[in-house]
Structure formats: structure tokens, C-alpha cells
Structure 1
């Protein structure tokens, strides 16, 4: 059941010709019958007109020439429920772009509810006001959930269920509905819940049937029905989704009904703790009784709980406050919950300043407007594109703006005039696609994020790689904030960025090993500097961190250093300094074992076989010899889940096959090591077709486009198209892994027809999924326009044959950020067969930056001997 009064219900029904909700087969039959009647009754119409009318009826957004322009109706193609099942961990609730308040119904879906809600059949545990989106691992935030009982058995408050273990109820099937700034569902206890948000405040509307008594169906035994008097009880629990609370308190004011509280909690993927505060007000019904509860024990009149007072309680599990109401006059109770990371007073001020009028429709409308304005940075011609694919595209763009979250003004750690963003989670994921996309479509927000990263360095001494809830997250690979900063520099994000401090920060990553590099910075730096690689058996112990992942960390350190060299050059640093980091950027080659075979068994007990491919990244020991790691380990076809945070293996969440392609700074040299362009193309094709590739992790994105470096950009376009709609689509399972706000960035880039090489001023071109794409340029009034002159709605013509940039022949397979800064028109001609001309000449290839072998970091043999002997410097 959809929300009848919501503007989103009106948007969904705005195009009745599409018969939303009617099965596709039935829709097709209706379309066909209607068109046959139309053509029969109007024989004087030319066949061409009849065909046009038929196409319009099937896909009205595809009829007629594209006029450009952006409509708020585009929001009907945003479905926040995409990715809320099968490990996507997408937050589908009400949010503003980068908003701190994120309201949704939470489920108790084990190992799936990292973002609160999951599209499964798990029961609802409450409605909470802050979440993260797309993360893996343990659930995050979900502090201070509300739960609503329409009534209690025998009208006794103590007979209602209070704990997170006892209170969960099933949702009514097909009632969850989400749209930008809005979420709703019904529970089996007759409750209808709706929610919307401002920046720091959630607004809920809980509606009831209004009967004298209500029938509560037992979730386990549907034949068991309990009648309860209609008299709502609403509780607020101090728990969070991870049940990590270590302190806190709550107070309810019986005269006004205001409830305030706080707690201390743990981050979901890091170390430390954070504090959170809330302030809840209620409107729509008179209060009968108030009290508090600890676990299953609810007490009337005891309106205060804390660790020091008479309400002392165990600070774990469920504990909180409750309010028992009379029957609401309008059969609805509105709840306004302000949140803060500073204080209760700040939480109350947030609520009072942001929603003084309690107007649900106004708040929802403003949320829609905010999302429409953000998405208006892009326009696409919908000609020939199905509603499902439009939904895939626009929903992907939407997800890129859910996190990081703008906590400016809510920084509980230090006072600063700089912006503060949090929930970066792992930049290891987001640097590859999300941040480059925001650089184009929302450069103001991306600039503020870069400034926030630099300010974190000022106050904590290191750039974060992973960060959430004011806490340091665990580093997964290199110090990849270095790449985000270099990317911002080469793409001319300048407003307010202190580049001197930025450079100081990345040099700190490259040169200074922290005492605990498991949560920031890099480890094994002495060996990295002296040997040019991280030995598998390194005895360098200047810092502490997981002694694993030497391959994946090593190739990432190399690319981090290369990006530092670009920044150093751009900032006119001394030539030796630039050269040092450029040379370290070539350290990836120290992991290349030219004799390593690709060994595997087709069956667990079968014989060992091998492919023709020779040479892979492998771990090395202190004395320089190579150590073996199965080339396919940590891939979907061999021990997929064996390479997480610290498993003792030498690659992280990916195989040596995958990491052997991660040399974006010097693909020219890598291709030579792999045997030349033809052999490289054969190897990369095998990677994508053998089951080794996994698109559910962000490292899999760039290899889709690396055919460009071997003069075969058409194959990049082919494989980009191959993942739609098989892996990226408009279902709740519509992304292949947890989102990290990056899966949507990949799908948006792929569908627009270009993909970034993060850290470099390079975008690799492929055939767009649209006839025309327009992106608002940084220069006022200008647009960057990509047109496909002979667009094929069936995507059989997916190979670029030729191109013109601003009317002039353009043969390169890549463009620079200048296109998005100044605007212009890129015209493409596509065909059904791969071109052997466009993008194929050496001068048309994306840039590579080889370092001659004689200029690379040479192993310091004196240092090596000390490591071997155990006399570590």
C-alpha cells in the first residue's frame, strides 16, 4: 500500500499510461490491443506516425526530440530501496543530501542491517534517526529508536513490550515505500509510520485506525489475535543498532512530554567511542502517564535514569522512557526528534529551529526540493531508455550523496571554522568513483570534504583512510586520502583549500609511520623507503598494525606516492622532491614475479592445471625471494571470503589476479610485462569472463576500462554495458555488493559514458547509455554535453567509431576535467563493430608515466642485511 496523501504517490501515478503496478505481461497486452484498435480506426495515418504513437505509448519519455531541461518529476525515478537486500546495506530512509538526520524503520536482520532497514521479512525493532549507508560489517548508529504500540493489553502500560528483544513486529507486506526525503510502512499492529527530515531533525507521523479497540495479530501464530484498547504508548530506547552503549541517561518531562537523553557508543569499524544526544517532542494527543524502563521492567513516575541517580541501571541493552497517551484527536501523533553530537541543548535547538511549525508536508516538500536541486546538475535524454534503466541511473546518483555526512557545527572533538564531514567510512572504497563524481556534479560539497580531511590532519596528525562517528576507522590499504587530495588539485578545486597544509598531510603519510598504523597512515615505511617493497616477513616494527596485505598495500602505496608527485609538481616543489615520489610510484614492479603461473584445480580433488598467463604480483621476503600466494585466492571462484581485514594473506578483498592490474600510473610498463597489448587484452578479457572478477568491490571498477591502455577502448565499452542490468538494476538486489556510496557512482559513470582514473586528470570514454548527457560545468551558464549522433536504443551499437570535441575531430580515448570546467560538446558516432582506428594510435592512449628501471628505488643492501640479521635500524 502506497501513501495516498504523499506527493510521491501523485508522482508515481503521474503517468497512468505506464500502468505502474500492473504486471508487465498484462501491460504489454493492453498496449498491443490499444495500438491495434488505434491503427485500425485511423487508417489514414501514415505507418510512420502509427509507429511513433506506438513507441510513445510504450515509453512516453522516449517520444519526440529531447528538449533538455530538468523537472522535479525526475525524482519519481529515484528508488532508495535499491540495494536494501543481498548485502547492499543501502540506507533507504528519509535524508537530505549529506544529511546528518537519517530516519528509517530498523529491522533485526542479522548481518544485514548495517543501514537499519532491510528489504526482507525480518521484523521491525523501532524507528531511529541517524544511520550510515552502504557500509559492510557491523551496523552503525541507529541510536535512540522510537517504538509505537497503538495500545497495551488490558490498558496496562506494563503489559506492553519494551525491549529490543521482545517488541519487534512484522511489517505489512508491500507497504514499505521510500523516496528522497520520505519513508513509510505499516506494521501488523495497525500502525502506519511516515517520516521525513531536516538536517539534524527527524519528523515522524504515526497514524492509527481510530477504532475503540485494535486487533493485534501475533507474528508467529497468525490465528492468535489480541484485542487492546486504543491508547498509544510510545517508548524511546537508549540502545543503538550495534548494542554498543557504555553510558548515558534519559529524562521525560510529564507536563510537556519532552524527552531528552544521551549515550556513549562504539563505532562500527574502528576504535574509540562517541557521544550522541537527542531531544524528542510529541504532538497530537494528551499524556496519560510517563515513566522509564530498564530491560523488561517499566516503572510509572520514575522519569529519570542515569548512572548516578536513583534510577541506576546496567548501561547495556534496552533502557529508556515511555509515554502513554489518550486517544489522538486526529488519530495521529507527530514526533519531532532533534539529534546532536554536542549536547541535549543543541539537539533541542536543532529541532526547534528546523521544524518550529511541525508541518510534515512542508518538511517533506523542502527535502524533495533539496534533492531535485542536487540532481539538477545532470540532465539525460530519456529517448529509448526504459523506466527501469532510468531508475538505475538516477538512484545511483542519489546514493552518492547520502554520505559522507555533513556534521559541520556538530564536531564534538574540536572547535574549527572549517567544514567537518564524517562517515567517510573507507576512502579505500570511495576514492575510486564517488569522490571523482562529486567533483563534477557537486564541487562545492567535494571541496568542503577535502577541507574537512585537511582539518582532521591538523587536529589528529594524520589523514583518515576510514572514519566514522568521530572515530578512526581501520585502514584497509594505502593512505588513499592522498589520492582524493591530489585528485582535487589536478581538477582545480581551490575554494578555501589550504594546499600547504594539504601537502604537509600527504608527506606525513609518505614519510612518518604512526605508532598505530592500523587506523591511520602507513606501516612498514622503513622497508618501503629502503627496499622498495613491504617484505612478507618484515621485522620493521616502528609502528603497530596488521602484518598482512603486503601486496595490496604495496601497490596502493606506490600509487599514493605517484599522486603525491603530481601534487608536488603542481605546487612547484623542488625537482628532487618530485622525482623521489615519482620513483617510489614505480615500486609496484618489485612485486611482479615474472615466472609465477596461474595455477588452479577445476575440482577440489582434481589435478593442478594452469592457464597460459605468466607473471603476477606476489609477496616477497626480506632477502628478496618471492613467496607464493594462490593467484585466484579471494576471488569469487576461490576462497572468496579469505582476505578480509587481517587474515594473514597478502591481498585485501581481492586476488593477486585483481591487484596485478592496479598500476594506473604506468599501464604502459605493466602491459609490456604482461607480454604486450594483445596478450594484455587476452588476459584482461579472461579476468572478466572467468569468474575471477568481482564487481561487488570497488577495486573491480577500473579494470572494466583498462582495455583503453591497449588500444581497445571498444572492449571497455562492451564490458561496461555487460554489467547492466545483470548486476546493476532497479531491484532491491540491484547492486552487486555493499554500496559504500560508490556502486551508484560506478553505474552513473558507466551510463554517462566515461570513467575517472582517480588522482589523474583523465576520464576514459565509452559509449553512453543515453542519446545525450548534459552536466553543469563549473563556468556559469555552461554545460558539458555528450551526444551520440546515431544512438541505438537497443545498445547494439556500443563501440565508438569517431568523435568530435567542439566541432573538431577528436581521436583520443579520454578527456580531461577541462571539459567539465568550461563546458563543451563531445559528439560520438557509434557502431556495432569495434573500431580499429578511434583511440587506437599510441598518441591517443591515456597517459602512462614510466620510470626507467635505472631510476627506480634500488634496494639498500645494508638495510636488508640488518633486517635479515634481526638488527633493525
Structure 2
């Protein structure tokens, strides 16, 4: 829960930025690289060498007064530790335990300003990154310098409010004076309360907090600041701090944090093969960022009592289901299991699976009910310990069948139309619930895939009738496919026909330019707001490719393999695709379904390292709590999941070999490149063996990671025939699977009903 870091002015998504933005404090909880509004960053602390002429009112209190530049080159960071020196020559090191942040301030021997005596001054402010505090209180204990307090804040991408509490203690110097401050003035009063801005509990912008002034530090000019955090009470914040850091030993705490991180990361072993450090940094940074969220708030849930784990900062599952949760399933299945249990406990106590959640508040839904995908993915990949699968099935079926009163924050809207018209209409009449009536195209294809994953779970659990029903619904994307729609870009026909288009309740068609909401046209035109359009954060060109459960039908619908590959090439080469949004990830690997895995490898190298590298701009979009990090890590590992299915696409890893030790079985799976070269001339698989036997499929099942083994890929400089046959491509299990006929033709035979198709079956938790 504790994630200590500097906060800079002007970049609030994760608190810190690696540019030259001034720093105004250090706060103790953060969400990493979020989109939308800033998040957390509650109760920042800030140190000054002293106050001019010893006058406490000559110190700087407000954010705009105290923010200061950093010393160039002074940042040193590693998992569990961060170190920076500011222009006032105060070095700040920080580390954390589960609920507590620990800072070590090293003050200059002699302040640069001769009017400043060596009486360090440390303040805490009752604020957060987005400045949403509506009310707060603070108490200063002048005898020992302890400061406690709390406040009411708003979540960054959701509804409601949350309360947060802190307990700040110091060690290393005797307290000289202490008090509270407000606006730009300090007082020796020891308590302060802030009322809401008005009766609607809007934010109160009044700067305020507490301060402590010290005698000269006893040793090394250092003062330790320990900040316990809680969502329950000030008393629990103090108890957290006292339990987790009972003694003032910064180096030991930092070492323990590093050891905890090392235990998480050491399940991966790499033989780099001489690749550039840029690739190594991009990979390990990606793995690290994947493990930052969701966050374990067990014991800190103020809304209900439960024996189940409680995780927060599912921010958002629309972003995380595609790569964050699949990567955690590979590297940290124990934590992924607890997260699934937490999702189900949220369902038990709040009635719905969340699609987004932060700071104990309901977050905004961006498309479908994507916890359904996470739950099915977990079942198929043996994430099972302590999970009640009957409860899980009940939860996903409720998403599919019952519309909530406010589907902006949970479940799905437009279910009456979904069940009768078999698509989400543009300008839909919805009398069952309230929500933002936009994104009809993207919601349709996402609902279709949500239902597809429910169908897989239904089949695995023996619900045959539900399996048929949800499998049929998964084909609803076809009802928004307009076969004669063309795409004209800058006056020229792209040469491709047939795209998803808006459709009204009476069946007539609307129009949205297939490149609208892309870098080629009005990039920001499809955000989550009442004036948004019929796709979400991406163009029709992108969403027309989103049929993850039935790619064989999509390929046939778009004109067959050759035309499909040309269309996919146009998507990646025209500039219409923005890889900084998560729905673009899967598009890198769709060539596998057309029997062209070599082209997926080409696209992977197109985007890495050009968009993913160790520069300041080395992440193409909001990291979204690790989504970008998990994408680059998985791609460089040489596999990418089709989340919600037991399918991993194979491309050559970006290293000579990579091994993953499974946390459930203790077995190790290795993917090894033969003829690997660090200049990446050989990026095409010529042949493969799995445990010494020839392997021609261009995809893997999760069983490989559970059982362990060696996948050996022999590489060459040109595309080969490996993985290109129809029997080599990943399965398509949708209602029109194995389609070889036009869109409006009679329903075709399902692929798994064909002779020999049982080998494509998906394994359950016990298979």
C-alpha cells in the first residue's frame, strides 16, 4: 500500500517525473502512471534546512512557494529505494514497508544562506495530488513532534469519497518547536480542522498542515521521518507504523524492501546474449511496473469486514485484463489468486464485479465487464486456490444478465437491446439504468468478447445451455459490421471495404469515419464523456479487428487471409494505430491467426525499442498501473496472451533465452533461441522443438509453464513456413468459427465440432 516518492509540479499521474519539473514534497501512496485525473499522493512532507533568522514564518509553506529544483544527476533508484537531492542541498532517501513510508533526510552541514540557522524544518500538508481534499484535521504533539491527522478526498476516476489517515514520527534530533500552519503563515497551535468548501462537500483549497522545527541533528545531520498510513483511523496508522518499523534502522528497512522485490523478480532468469542495456532496462522496468498494482489493502478496508483478501487500485480492468493480469499469472500466481478472490469478495459485498476501482471507490467503466475476462483467464490457467467457482460463475452471469442502476461504474448498460437487437445501438433508449450513452461500437465488440469468455467458463463448469447462449451472443459484433463501408483517407480510398459502423435501434446505419479518433483525425475525440463518439479511445479501424474469440470468422469476413494481412499491415504502417492505448496490444499478434507469425515478430521489433526504451519519453502512453510495462515485458519474453483464453502467441524472445519458474508447481519453463544475434537480424522462427520434439504450432497453452520444459526456436533472417499451416494457428471458438463463407451466409459449423478439433480444447483449473 505504501509507495513513497517525490511529487513534482505539473506531472501528477504517478507523482514523479524524470524531467526538470520542480518538486514540492514527498508523499507515501501513489498509483502508477494513471490516465484520467491524478490519484492519491496524500499528505506530502517537505524539508527545509531551517527558517531565515529562525523565524518560523520565514519558512515556505504553500506548494507554490516551497517547490524547488532537483540537483542534476542526483536521482538513484532501485526496487524498494529512491534517493534524490534538491537544490536546497537536502538529500532525501526513501523506502517502505507494507503500510509505512520511511524517509531519511540528510541536511547540509552549513546552510547556503547564512541567515538560516541549522534548525531543520519539516512540514506536512493536508492535501493530495489532484487537490481534492474536502475536509481534514491535524494534531501536533509538541513534546515529541508526532503529527497525526486525516482527510476526506475524491478518487481520480470514479465516484464518491474516501478517508485517509497518517501518523508521522521523527527520530534523530530533538524537537525545538512545533505547530500547525495555514495559507502562508505558521502557528504554535497544536490542532486544526478544515471544513468542506460548501454543503456539497466540494474541495476546500485552503493550504494547511503541520510543522516541526528541530535542534541540530545528533548524527550525520540526518533526521528520519516515519509515516504510517491507514484508511481506517489515525490510531491504526500509528499502529501500522509501530508494528512495521519499531526501530530507526533505515538501511535494514531498505534492504528488506529490496529483498522482497528480489523474491518477486527472481522467478525470471535471462541469458541476454549481448543485447543492449536499453532492452534490459525496458524489460526489467516493465516487469517491475507490472507488480506495482493492484495493491494489497487487506485489513485496510473501511467498507466491510471479511476474511477474504482485499485489493484496490484495479485501475482499470479495461486496461489490465489484456496483459497485467496474464503476466502476474505467469510470474506471481499466488498474488493473482488473491486478486481474483478479492474481486469476488467485492461482488459479495457490493453486488457487482468492479471494472475499475481505486481508493475504496467505484471507478468508471470504459467498455465491457472485463472482470469476466480476468476470472475466465484465471480458471483456464489454474489460478484456483480458495476460489469459489460457483460464486465466480454467478458473478459473471449477473454481468451478462442484470443491468445495474448506474452502469457507468459497474456491469453493463443497454442489456435489453443487447438481448433483443443483438447489438448496442447508437442513441439507445435504456430505461433500466443510467450511464454514458456513447461507445456503441466498442461496447458491442467488448460485450461480445465478455460473453465469449463467460461461454468458456460455462462449458468448463458444465452449464451447457448457458454455453450455447453466450457463445451465440459472442457473435453479436457482426450486427454492427457494414459490408459496403469504405475508408477514405485524405481523399484517397484505402482499398479496403467493410468496417464496423454505428447502428440505430431501427436497424438503420449511422456513420463514423473509420480513422476518426486516431492520430490521423481528431485523436482525442472519443474520450469518456457525454459528447464522446461510438468508439472509445481509438478508431473504427482498430475496433474492427477486435474479435479475439473468433478470428477465423473475422478473417473470412474481411476477405480472407491475404486481404486480412494487407489490412493489418495498413493498420500498423499508416499511423492510424496508437500503441499507447491498451486495445492496440493484441493487434500486434493477429498475424498469427492468418498463419504469418513472422509478421507479428516484425511488428514487435517495429515498436520496441522505438516506443519502449529507457528515455524520459520511453513509454508511449499512460502506463496505467503497469499496462505498458506488462506489454513490453511479455513481448520481449517472446509470448503474448489472448487474455481470457488458454493461448499464448509465440515469437522469438528478445534475449538468447528466458526461463520462468512457476510459483505453483516449482517447475521451470525455458524459451531458447538458436542462432540468436543481438542485432536482431534473425527474428524469424525457422523451426521449433518442444522438449526435443518438433513443434509446428505458433502458439502455446499455459500447461507449458505449469509443467515446465524447453521450447527451442531456431532463428533465421527470413520468414519461413513454420507456424503457417491452418492446423498451426490458434483456435477460434466463436459461434461462426472456421468461417469460409460471406458474412450473411448460413451459420457455419463450429470449429470444435470438426473431427480432431478436441485438441484445441481449453483446460480447466484441474486439467
Shift of 1:316: 3.5
Q: How far does the alpha carbon of each residue in 1:1-48 deviate from its partner, in whole angstroms, 9 at most, with x for none?
A: xxxxxxxxxxxxxxxxxxxxxxxxxxxxxxxxxxxxxxxxxxxxxxxx
CA distance in 2, matches of 1:227, 1:715: 67
CA distance in 1, matches of 2:688, 2:82: 44
Shift of 1:778: 4.6
Shift of 1:803: 0.8
CA shift in 2, pair 1:674/1:238, >3 Å? same
CA shift in 2, pair 1:354/1:587, >3 Å? same
Q: Does 1:770 align with 2:655?
A: yes
Partner of 1:469: 359
Partner of 1:241: 129
Please provide the CA RMSD for this pair: 1.4
Match of 1:419 among 303, 309, 315: 309
Match of 1:523 among 405, 413, 423: 413
Partner of 2:80: 181
Match of 1:436 among 309, 326, 334: 326
Shift of 1:348: 0.6
Q: How far does the alpha carbon of each residue in 1:606-661 deviate from its partner, in whole angstroms, 9 at most, with x for none?
A: xx321101011111011112111010011111111111102330000000000000
Q: How far does the alpha carbon of each residue in 1:347-395 deviate from its partner, in whole angstroms, 9 at most, with x for none?
A: 1111111111111100110111111110011111022212221111111
CA distance in 2, matches of 1:292, 1:778: 49
Partner of 1:197: 96
Partner of 1:303: 190
Q: In the alignment, is the contact (CA less than 8 A) between 2:6 and 2:23 conserved in 1?
A: yes
CA distance in 2, matches of 1:415, 1:773: 42
Match of 1:610 among 493, 501, 508: 493
Helix, strand or coil: the match of 2:569?
Answer: helix
Q: Does 1:796 align with 2:681?
A: yes
CA distance in 1, matches of 2:735, 2:27: 53
Helix, strand or coil: the match of 1:745?
Answer: helix
Match of 1:820 among 705, 719, 735: 705
Partner of 2:205: 316
Q: In the alignment, is the contact (CA less than 8 A) between 1:515 and 1:544 conserved in 2?
A: yes
Partner of 2:762: none
Partner of 2:152: 264
CA distance in 2, matches of 1:686, 1:403: 34
Q: In the alignment, is the contact (CA less than 8 A) between 1:779 and 1:823 conserved in 2?
A: no
Helix, strand or coil: the match of 1:229?
Answer: coil
Partner of 2:370: 480
Q: How far does the alpha carbon of each residue in 1:711-733 deviate from its partner, in whole angstroms, 9 at most, with x for none?
A: 11110011111211101111222
Q: How do residues 106-255 of structure 1 correspond to structure 2 at under 5 angstroms?
A: 106-109=7-10, 112-211=11-110, 214-216=111-113, 227-255=115-143
Partner of 1:20: none
Q: How do residues 316-335 of structure 1 correspond to structure 2 at under 5 angstroms?
A: 316-330=205-219, 331-335=221-225
Q: Which runs of 5+ in 2 are unaligned?
A: 196-200, 737-744, 749-767
Q: How far does the alpha carbon of each residue in 1:153-174 deviate from its partner, in whole angstroms, 9 at most, with x for none?
A: 1110011111123221111222
CA distance in 2, matches of 1:268, 1:128: 16
CA distance in 2, matches of 1:187, 1:522: 48
Shift of 1:184: 1.4
CA distance in 1, matches of 2:179, 2:507: 69
Partner of 2:2: 101
Shift of 1:773: 0.9
Partner of 2:645: 760
Q: Does 1:447 align with 2:337?
A: yes
CA distance in 2, matches of 1:474, 1:779: 34
Partner of 1:390: 280
Q: Does 1:560 align with 2:457?
A: no
Give the alignment's TM-score, normalised by structure 1. 0.82
Q: How far does the alpha carbon of each residue in 1:423-479 deviate from its partner, in whole angstroms, 9 at most, with x for none?
A: 011100110011001001100000100000111011111111111000011110100
CA distance in 2, matches of 1:787, 1:392: 20
Equivalent residues, number? 731
Q: How do residues 602-751 of structure 1 correspond to structure 2 at under 5 angstroms?
A: 608-646=491-529, 647-740=531-624, 741-751=626-636
Helix, strand or coil: the match of 1:215?
Answer: coil
Q: In the alignment, is the contact (CA less than 8 A) between 2:140 and 2:146 conserved in 1?
A: yes
Q: In the alignment, is the contact (CA less than 8 A) between 1:558 and 1:587 conserved in 2?
A: yes
Shift of 1:779: 5.5
Match of 2:347 among 454, 457, 470: 457
CA distance in 2, matches of 1:769, 1:120: 29
Partner of 1:845: 729
Q: In the alignment, is the contact (CA less than 8 A) between 1:182 and 1:194 conserved in 2?
A: yes
Give the alignment's TM-score, normalised by structure 2. 0.94
Q: In the alignment, is the contact (CA less than 8 A) between 2:672 and 2:711 conserved in 1?
A: yes
Helix, strand or coil: the match of 1:705?
Answer: helix
Q: In the alignment, is the contact (CA less than 8 A) between 1:583 and 1:855 conserved in 2?
A: no
Q: Does 1:513 align with 2:415?
A: no
CA distance in 1, matches of 2:66, 2:426: 50
Q: In the alignment, is the contact (CA less than 8 A) between 2:321 and 2:374 conserved in 1?
A: yes
Q: In the alignment, is the contact (CA less than 8 A) between 1:243 and 1:317 conserved in 2?
A: no
Displaced runs of 4+ in structure 1, greater than 2 A? 313-317, 777-781, 852-856
CA distance in 2, matches of 1:592, 1:438: 35
Helix, strand or coil: the match of 1:701?
Answer: helix
Helix, strand or coil: the match of 2:686?
Answer: strand
Shift of 1:844: 1.0
Helix, strand or coil: the match of 1:228?
Answer: coil
Q: In the alignment, is the contact (CA less than 8 A) between 2:665 and 2:706 conserved in 1?
A: no
CA distance in 2, matches of 1:764, 1:307: 55
Q: Which runs of 5+ in 1 are unaligned?
A: 1-99, 217-225, 602-607, 857-873
Partner of 1:21: none
CA distance in 2, matches of 1:115, 1:543: 34
Partner of 2:740: none
Shift of 1:208: 1.1
Shift of 1:854: 5.4
Shift of 1:495: 0.3
